[in-house]
Amino acid sequence: MRWPLIIRLLVLALLIAFLVSPESFAFLLRPLIKNGQPAIYDRGSLWSLTLSHLAITFAATTMATIVALSLAILVTRPFGAEFLPLSRSLANIGQTFPPVAVLALAVPILGFGNAPTLMALFLYGLLPIFENSLTGLTTVPPAITMAARGMGMTGMQRLTRVELPLALPVILGGVRLSTVISLATATIGSTVAARTLGEIIIAGLAASNTAFVMQGGLIVTALAVLIYDGLSALERFFVACTRT
């Protein structure tokens, strides 16, 4: 077993242990507090906040993946090539408007809570997935698609059996990037009453409690690293599959 894997497993074990029994780690955070402040966030369950944070992140990424991949497939078909500029403009919307601005615009329509945060993360995550999907689908070797056509495959069969499997590693790269961006950005959702780990950070900033800020930031960082590594491993697996 390689050392990097051991380290990642140790980080995962420590993260789970902290979320399940945070009071066991209070002694590490007490040097950061003052005036009798609590060392561990005590206004909600860390485990519950983490699950809610992950649920919002993965829901937004799933929605962004479906829409972005569908757009990429559309514009790489002969009948949809003319929609490429429009599709790219749509995918760029989230990058044009910062998530905070999207939240400000969405709250009057969707109200407070998870919905505006989900909308902001969805829009923000479109571009990486769209661009990677477009790159993956347009770089499939023409000889392979010609061979598939020569075997009598229909357009749908070529897409599902040849193009998408070959493009999958590149598409996953976009999904990985979008997921990590959404995971970090989701913390701002707590400003509009979404249940995310940003709640801990905001509470810490409001009360000048460095321990709260530290634990919220560390949980998000650990999740980002673990998810990034997990999706990278999945990407490498599919790259290996395409070469065999």
The domain locations on the chain are 46-243
Report whether pLDDT(8) > 90: no
Average pLDDT on 63-89 reads: 91
Average pLDDT on 77-103 reads: 84
Lowest pLDDT segment from 18-32, 141-155, 178-192, 203-217: 141-155
The token pair at 60 is 């937004």
Report whether pLDDT(41) > 70: yes
Burial (CB < 10 A; 0-12, 13-18, 19+), residue 13, is exposed
At residue 179, the pLDDT reads 95
Average pLDDT on 134-141 reads: 91
pLDDT band per the 50, 70, 90 thresholds, residue 170: very high
pTM of structure: 0.90
> Residue 1: which residues within 8 A CB-CB, separation 6 or more?
none
pLDDT band per the 50, 70, 90 thresholds, residue 109: confident
Residue of 85, 90, 98, 120 whose CA lies nearest to 192: 120
Match domain 46-243 to its CATH number in 1.50.10.20, 3.40.50.1980, 1.10.3720.10, 1.10.1030.10.
1.10.3720.10
Average pLDDT on 165-189 reads: 92
